Structure 1
Amino acid sequence: MVRRLVIDDLKLVRMIHDLDSHGDKGLLVFTLSKISDSMDDYERNIWIYDGKSPRQLTRGNSDFSPRILSDGSGVVFLSRRGLGKDEPGVGVWLLKFDGGEAVRLTYVRGGVTGMRVVGNEIFFLSTTGPTQEDVKFVDDWPLWFNGRGFIHTFKTHLFSLKVDGSLRQLTSGDFDVVAYDVKPNGEEVAVAISSDRFKPYRNEVWLINLRSGERRTILSNYSVSTMKFSPDGKYLAMVGNDLHRGFATHDHVLLVKVDTNEVIDLMRGVDRNVGNSLNSDVRGSPPPTKLQWVGEYIYFVMMDGGTARLARTGVNGNVEVVVGGNRSVEDFAVINHELIYFVAMDPTTPTELYRWVNGAEERVTNFNDWVGMVSLSKPEQFKFKAGDGVEIEGWIMRPADFRPGIKYPAILEIHGGPKTAYGYSFMFEFQVLANEGFVVVFMNPRGSDGYGEGFADIRGHYGERDYEDLMEGLDYVLRSYDFIDPNRLGVIGGSYGGFMTNWIVTHTDRFRAAVTDRSISNWVSFFGTSDIGPYFANDQIGGDEGKDFWGYLETYLAKSPIMYVKNVKTPLLIIHSLEDYRCWFDQAVQLYTALKYMGKEVRMVVFPGENHDLSRFGKPNHRVVRLRSIVDWFSEKLRR
């Protein structure tokens, strides 16, 4: 018997992430995350798959990021075992497959990211520097960072750890390591570093000899996020770009010849972005930007419209899609060219593990079979020509209990970024709204990822073609789907989508209710309070990295919704987190105060202890309150 999906069903979601493999041993390990019974945290444990059936490997409930040892004899993983709730850092643990309990190799106060095993050593990135527990004495910028808190005393550096617990710091200095890889022979390491606080996206890549400490620069003035040496060490593949369109520039797979420093774009002529930027609120961790060499090929995930696909390229180029379909490939492990494992989701199925054998697929896990017991709405794709002739892609979800002849209220959802995308991923929030009797409309307007660079580039033009795409798309939907009541429309968006929601309610009164989540209302104050303020605002609002508000104040003010609050007629619900250092709380307070001062209808819901990622990775009980607040607001305003 199929029943209606309810908000509390969030606790049923199982999330597969952190996939790692050992090809010779035929082993896979991954993290499986779920919401704890207390609804105040998540339980994370390591699972293993040997080609026959998956089984749970650890039961610490705070175990994640497994990496199989080079000889296949065991796994190292991160865990919060034995640490207090507010105690910083993480432990690096070792579990042998031949029996026995897991042992902690070391405790890392600065946390661990990017862990990998090369030979007999474990490498990872961690922050270094003194911690100021109480009063903050600030001499550097940025002073804070979303999800990390105050970071003005920290730098991120590369470390190595041996299984005997001996720890060594490999880099030091007044810079941050943002990406790295170790040559297969263990003799050299490549590091991408950031040394300019106000241009952290402009990186240098160094090649460092781990024995002598000698280093040489092999690349400068590129934005780099991931690196991977070829098996023979002659090439260094990277995910990055030269910033020729600022932050709208697509990341490509780049190949550096280590001996000559020659840089080759292996995706030349492919106007798509590497990585997975599809929105979803049922992930255990953000999907990794990953490269894997198999022979002369490099495997990676790239965006294409509303999908994220597994592709590959040879060392001479020629990109080809290996695993496609209307879904989101979240992670992958290539055993050989004939056997691939991947984690994927689609709009009605959260993450599961799949096996690909010479083009034939089968599902390996069934962690989310509960979806068969609830009513889910399947998105219907639509496309329309915008006013300037460009095709825009969107989707509509009917109410889960849709019946012909009834007029339904509709809600327009707007994604953040702006360079992310909606599409064929699972959105629990959308399914909740559809099960509450709302039509859900979402689309990828100008500024979105998944299409060409020109499509994504709205620098200096926020609130123009992007706004028109959304309004014209809604007009198209109202003409095409006669079951929508045009007099009962709502709009909601988060981050950039929150900015756009603020822009919409200050520029039109066609919506009867709106929700703005972790939004931006004032670009001038955003510049000074956001953890990315100076460089993001310059690029996106000024239109270039050197265009700050001192030289372009009229532009910054003209793009700030706070300047137009007197026009607001739509009742607005503001949702914001107190520790959101991406779009700081001042953005919500300014907007709320201005609307109250103007006598407008506004309500605000504030979440203590949460950051910019509340809707995706926040405390489960807070996520439930957020969803209930949204449903209650739209029900109150659109159902009467």
Structure 2
Amino acid sequence: MNKNGTTNRFFLNGSNGKWSPDGSKIAFIKKGEPNGTQIFIKYLGVEGEPTQITKLEKSPSSMEWSPDGKFIAFLMHVSSEAALDPIGVPERPKGATWTKGPQVIDQVDYSQDRVGFLERGFRQIFIVPSEGGTARQITFGEFDDISSGISWLKDSESIVFSSYQKEDAEYARGQSNLYSVNINNLNLIELTSRDGTESSPTVSPDGSKIAFVGSTWTKNFYQDRKMYVMDIDGSNLRCITESLDQTPSPGVWGKNSSGVYFNVREFGQSNVYHADVKGKVKKITNGNHMLTMNDLVGSNAVATWTDPSNPSDIISFSIDKPNKINRLTDVNKDIFYNVEFGEVEEITYKSVDEKYVQGWIVKPPNFDSNKKYPLVLRIHGGPHSMYHVGFNYNFQLHAAQDQVVLYTNPRGSTGYGYDFANAIQNAYPGNDYDDIMYGVDEVISRGYIDENRMYVYGGSGGGVLTSWIVGKTDRFAAASVNYPVTNWFSFVGTTDGATWYYNFKNYPWEDPSEHIKRSPLMYVANVKTPTMLMCGEEDLRTPISQTEEYYQALKMNKVPTVMIRFKDEYHGTSSKPSNFLRTHGYINAWFDKHSVRK
């Protein structure tokens, strides 16, 4: 579409589009020859099909144009030699069909949710001429995957990237450094050596500085991030968001290279901030919305925007006049014509330990405070994430069914400072349960909730807390525990996140006591609430064995239950439209079947 939002039209099939520096063409990724996805170029104003400029054996990712437009850098997986080859196995006889060979695994991280089992090897940086030609590998070594978010220096001769080029890198949880590599002589320079992570580097327009997001290592599961700036040789490193007790997104430099703009999600909202290179932080946009800036050209910013009654659309605004927002799209206008949404009311209430908790109530359309309504309590996952004021289809669907919805941000949630997010370290679940129950009490105190028709559900971290809740109270008529962790002891050895798992002080083979104490499975004998379970059969984050363990325990205790196993789903049950509809269909059916507390 045009920059004012007019002439919105189909352009091409593909993904990960990147404008060239001169704005004359777009690089993007789509399926090509010989296999997988390839890099293509589409010239603006030129008739005909896009030009395929790579013919790679594996799919590229994370493309970035060089500032002079001559090269495109990208990441691609490079295979390592097999960890072990069998001895004494003859070659397959001609014409014979053999079973596919086994996967030989010797990595710490050998699987990844939504990817599957990982091929042995590492992501490396390659470059290819933008006019087409042979791709050339410019980083080497079997240390650590190179993270997405590579950035060219202004001279178009070096690339800055995040990795951890050290021996035993796979065991180094929470560690990464920034490096630069020269594309001509392949000289590799370590720019940072902090104890922690550095990621998402971006070079200033004048080429003199690099901004990046970094965290300082702690043993805590939640690692807070700050924005840092340094000179391009790694000197003069300083944190520029020290005064901000919130987490910045990767930054976008201002046009004069004097500071960085970034998004901050806090208190249920998202807005744009600016930090200058001396560390002065200023909030740029304000509003009860989720405004996420995606790019900045001069003073003109482009962002996505949503609020309680509007799904996401694209907006633009001037950094100099941030309160004047230009809405460029209204893609759901026809769908929501004549649809009435439920009112979303923000609440703040006091929980245990004098902690204040933020939440929201969604009321049915045509709400009558003199009536009694069912309550649906929804719990977010993470657990380090944040419910917010952006439009939520699920909540409005419940409201349209004449149900009141409560969703809150208990301790452990992000957006309320580092201490609040880390309040559940070594104690999860714990007082977050109290935060949620106090929220339920707050809504009940308003007089319009039928306490015999209250329901609860959540997924992932929300599934953890839902299974914890039904083991602690029988105040709910029905529950749905979705893709949960129910047994921390068995979870450690089966999740795809073994290296980042630090929920408790010790691993279970060192001291299993906390893992047992905090496992919902250990309290299943207390459960009286009819409890449905849902999980994707391919889940590698909270494997389906976690669901199966809890299901068997519920059945053995004769608790009304059913297990819904979703085909072709990793972590979650709604990545496909049909499964999205099924997820909510089953939840509605379960709550309808057990509509009144017995």
Provide TM-score, normalisation by structure 1: 0.84
1:171 aligns with 2:139: yes
Within 1, Cα distance between the matches of 2:81 and 2:440?
A: 50
Cα–Cα, structure 1 residues 131 and 508, in superposed 2: closer, same or farther, change >3 Å?
farther
1:446 aligns with 2:446: no
Task: Tell me if the contact between 2:252 and 2:296 (Cα under 8 Å) persists in the aligned partners.
Answer: no
Corresponding residue to 1:432 among 382, 393, 397? 397
Corresponding residue to 1:58 among 4, 11, 14? 11
Within 2, Cα distance between the matches of 1:97 and 1:391?
A: 53
Shift of 1:614: 3.6
Shift of 1:523: 0.8
Shift of 1:478: 1.1
1:183 aligns with 2:153: yes
Shift of 1:446: 0.3
Task: Tell me if the contact between 2:369 and 2:447 (Cα under 8 Å) persists in the aligned partners.
Answer: no
What are the within-5 Å matches in structure 2 for residues 96-135 of structure 1?
96-100=43-47, 101-108=49-56, 110-118=58-66, 119=68, 120-129=70-79, 135=102
Cα–Cα, structure 1 residues 361 and 139, in superposed 2: closer, same or farther, change >3 Å?
same
Task: Tell me if the contact between 1:348 and 1:371 (Cα under 8 Å) persists in the aligned partners.
Answer: no
Instruction: State the match for 1:95 in structure 2.
Output: 42
SS at structure 2 position matched to 1:564: helix
Letter in 1 for 2:53: L
Corresponding residue to 1:304 among 266, 291, 313? 266
Shift of 1:134: 5.3
Within 2, Cα distance between the matches of 1:110 and 1:461?
A: 43
Shift of 1:144: 0.8
Cα–Cα, structure 1 residues 593 and 248, in superposed 2: closer, same or farther, change >3 Å?
same
Letter in 1 for 2:40: W
What are the within-5 Å matches in structure 2 for residues 196-215 of structure 1?
196-215=169-188
Cα–Cα, structure 1 residues 513 and 389, in superposed 2: closer, same or farther, change >3 Å?
same
Instruction: State the match for 1:350 in structure 2.
Output: 311
Letter in 1 for 2:393: F
Corresponding residue to 1:274 among 226, 244, 248? 248
Bigger fraction of residues in strand: 1
Cα–Cα, structure 1 residues 160 and 290, in superposed 2: closer, same or farther, change >3 Å?
farther
What are the within-5 Å matches in structure 2 for residues 239-258 of structure 1?
239-244=213-218, 246-258=220-232
Percentage identity across aligned positions? 27
Cα–Cα, structure 1 residues 577 and 374, in superposed 2: closer, same or farther, change >3 Å?
same
Deviations 1:342-369 (A, max 9, x none): 1112222111111213231121111121
Within 2, Cα distance between the matches of 1:209 and 1:613?
A: 41
Letter in 1 for 2:549: Q
Corresponding residue to 2:23 among 44, 50, 72? 72
Corresponding residue to 2:376 among 398, 411, 418? 411
SS at structure 2 position matched to 1:49: coil
Task: Tell me if the contact between 1:189 and 1:207 (Cα under 8 Å) persists in the aligned partners.
Answer: yes
Cα–Cα, structure 1 residues 614 and 199, in superposed 2: closer, same or farther, change >3 Å?
farther
What are the within-5 Å matches in structure 2 for residues 147-158 of structure 1?
147-158=114-125
1:526 aligns with 2:491: yes
Instruction: State the match for 2:353 in structure 1.
Output: 388
Within 1, Cα distance between the matches of 2:5 and 2:401?
A: 40
Cα–Cα, structure 1 residues 247 and 266, in superposed 2: closer, same or farther, change >3 Å?
farther
Structure 2 residues not aligned, in runs of 5+? 83-99
Instruction: State the match for 1:465 in structure 2.
Output: 431
Within 2, Cα distance between the matches of 1:517 and 1:110?
A: 35
Shift of 1:456: 0.3
Instruction: State the match for 1:6 in structure 2.
Output: none
Structure 1 residues not aligned, in runs of 5+? 1-47, 276-288
1:551 aligns with 2:551: no
Task: Tell me if the contact between 1:518 and 1:583 (Cα under 8 Å) persists in the aligned partners.
Answer: yes
Task: Tell me if the contact between 1:527 and 1:534 (Cα under 8 Å) persists in the aligned partners.
Answer: no
Shift of 1:528: 0.7
1:589 aligns with 2:540: no
Deviations 1:526-585 (A, max 9, x none): 11111103431xx22x14xxx211222111111111111111111111110011111111
SS at structure 2 position matched to 1:191: strand
Task: Tell me if the contact between 1:490 and 1:511 (Cα under 8 Å) persists in the aligned partners.
Answer: yes
Shift of 1:624: 1.0
Within 2, Cα distance between the matches of 1:520 and 1:103?
A: 47
Deviations 1:106-162 (A, max 9, x none): 255543432222232222222222799753121222221001111141312222222
Corresponding residue to 1:142 among 109, 129, 147? 109
Deviations 1:492-541 (A, max 9, x none): 111111111111111111111111111101111111111103431xx22x
Deviations 1:465-484 (A, max 9, x none): 211111112111211x2111
Within 2, Cα distance between the matches of 1:290 and 1:596?
A: 50
Cα–Cα, structure 1 residues 534 and 259, in superposed 2: closer, same or farther, change >3 Å?
closer
Task: Tell me if the contact between 1:401 and 1:437 (Cα under 8 Å) persists in the aligned partners.
Answer: no
Deviations 1:444-492 (A, max 9, x none): 110001011000002101121211111112111211x211112211111
Within 1, Cα distance between the matches of 2:183 and 2:252?
A: 23
Instruction: State the match for 1:630 in structure 2.
Output: 587
Task: Tell me if the contact between 1:160 and 1:168 (Cα under 8 Å) persists in the aligned partners.
Answer: yes
SS at structure 2 position matched to 1:371: coil
SS at structure 2 position matched to 1:374: coil
SS at structure 1 position matched to 2:490: helix
Letter in 1 for 2:162: A
Shift of 1:200: 4.4
Task: Tell me if the contact between 2:263 and 2:272 (Cα under 8 Å) persists in the aligned partners.
Answer: yes
Within 2, Cα distance between the matches of 1:72 and 1:531?
A: 41
Task: Tell me if the contact between 1:90 and 1:109 (Cα under 8 Å) persists in the aligned partners.
Answer: no
SS at structure 2 position matched to 1:72: coil
SS at structure 1 position matched to 2:247: coil
Of residues 398-407 and 483-492 in structure 1, the stretch that sits farther from structure 2 once superposed is: 398-407
Letter in 2 for 1:123: A
Within 2, Cα distance between the matches of 1:155 and 1:582?
A: 21
Cα–Cα, structure 1 residues 58 and 315, in superposed 2: closer, same or farther, change >3 Å?
same
Task: Tell me if the contact between 1:78 and 1:90 (Cα under 8 Å) persists in the aligned partners.
Answer: yes
Of residues 366-375 and 181-190 in structure 1, the stretch that sits farther from structure 2 once superposed is: 366-375
Of residues 547-556 and 365-374 in structure 1, the stretch that sits farther from structure 2 once superposed is: 365-374
SS at structure 2 position matched to 1:344: strand
Within 2, Cα distance between the matches of 1:131 and 1:495?
A: 36
1:233 aligns with 2:197: no
SS at structure 1 position matched to 2:280: strand
* Structure number with larger C-alpha Rg: 2
Shift of 1:102: 1.5
Task: Tell me if the contact between 1:178 and 1:192 (Cα under 8 Å) persists in the aligned partners.
Answer: yes
The alignment of Structure 1 onto Structure 2 pairs a total of residues equal to: 564
Within 2, Cα distance between the matches of 1:461 and 1:452?
A: 18
Letter in 1 for 2:389: Y
Cα–Cα, structure 1 residues 588 and 198, in superposed 2: closer, same or farther, change >3 Å?
farther
Deviations 1:417-462 (A, max 9, x none): 1110001122221121111221110011100010110000021011
SS at structure 2 position matched to 1:317: coil
Task: Tell me if the contact between 1:572 and 1:603 (Cα under 8 Å) persists in the aligned partners.
Answer: yes
Provide TM-score, normalisation by structure 2: 0.90
Letter in 1 for 2:308: P
1:516 aligns with 2:516: no
